[in-house]
Amino acid sequence: MFSRFYADQLQHQPINSQLEYVNWRLGQDDGNIRALFPPRITPEMVFPSSLDAIAHDVLTNWETIEHSRLSSRLLQTLRATPIFKVVHGFLASVDKAITNVDNFIDCLSHVWFTQTAADLLQYPGGPKTCGFQHVYIGERKKNVKGLHSWQRLFILERQGRLITRRVIRKAPNFHIAALNFQWDETPKPYGTIFFGLPMDFEMMLFFVAFMMTKNRPITFMLVGTPVTIESYDLALVDNAMATAFFRY
C-alpha cells in the first residue's frame, strides 16, 4: 500500500533531488556551525501543494491560540488527499467500525489530537499537548521532546531559531537522518527525521503503524527497502498517540 504510493507519487518529486544538496556531513568533519538546508532549497520546494500550505500555517502558528482551528482545517484538507482514501479503504476492510468516513475522521482526530497534560502522572493539571504537537511541533523541556518533522526543522532554521549541531548518521537509501540540534537554546541530543515526506503521507503512515502495533516497532517496505516506525500511546488515554518516529 505505502510502497506503491511512495513509488508512484513521491519518490521522484523535485524535493528529493534537491535534498542531495543538504549538508549531510554537518558536524562530522569540523565543529563549524552551518545551515543544514542550503539556500537553493526554497519554501516553495518544501511546501509545494495546497495541503503543504496549510501544513506551513499549522507548523508556524501552532503555538498560538489558533491551534484548535488549525488542526480542524488540517484534518478536513487531509480528508481530500489520495493517501487518506487509500488508508481508509485498507483499514475499513479490517475494522467495520470505521467504514463510514466521518467515523474514520473521528478516529484519526482522536489518535493525533487528543489533548492531555504533558506529564499526566506527575502534573495532571499541567500544560496540554497531543501526539501531533509532540511529533510535528516539538516540546521544550530540559531537552527537546519530539520534533520529528523536516518541514518544521526547515521553518525554525530559516527563522534563526534552530541550529543543527551534527548529522549523526544518514540512511543510504532514503533521506532518513539522526540529528543533534538545538532549538531556542534547548538541545535535542538525538532525533530521527525522514526528509522529503509530505505531511499527509507521513501522518497516515504513522497512524497505520499506531493502529496496528502501538508500543512496539513495526516495519514497512518502501520500494524494496525496510523502514521501521515506533509509536506509543498515552498511558491513561485509550487509543491516543503520544509519539511516533522512524527508528534509525
What single letter denotes the amino acid at residue 139?
Answer: E
* Residues, the chain: 248
Q: What is the pLDDT of residue 196?
A: 98
Using the predicted structure, report yes or no on whether residue 123 has a pLDDT greater than 60.
Answer: no
The DSSP secondary-structure symbol of 97 reads G
- H-type alpha helices, the chain: 2-5, 14-18, 43-46, 50-61, 67-78, 82-92, 101-113, 131-132, 150-158, 199-213
DSSP 10-35: ITT-HHHHHGGGS-TTTTTS-S----
Using the predicted structure, report yes or no on whether residue 31 has a pLDDT greater than 70.
Answer: no
What are 32-85's pLDDT values in tens digits? Answer: 778 999 999 999 999 999 999 999 999 999 988 777 888 899 999 999 999 999
Neighbours of 36 (CB within 10 A): 22
Residue listed under C-alpha cell 516506525: 229
Q: What is the pLDDT of residue 28?
A: 84
Band the pLDDT of 24: cuts 50, 70, 90. very high
Q: What is the pLDDT of residue 202?
A: 98
The C-alpha atoms of residue 133 and residue 112 are separated, in whole angstroms, by 9
Q: What is the pLDDT of residue 78?
A: 95
Mean pLDDT of the chain: 92
Neighbours of 243 (CB within 10 A): 17
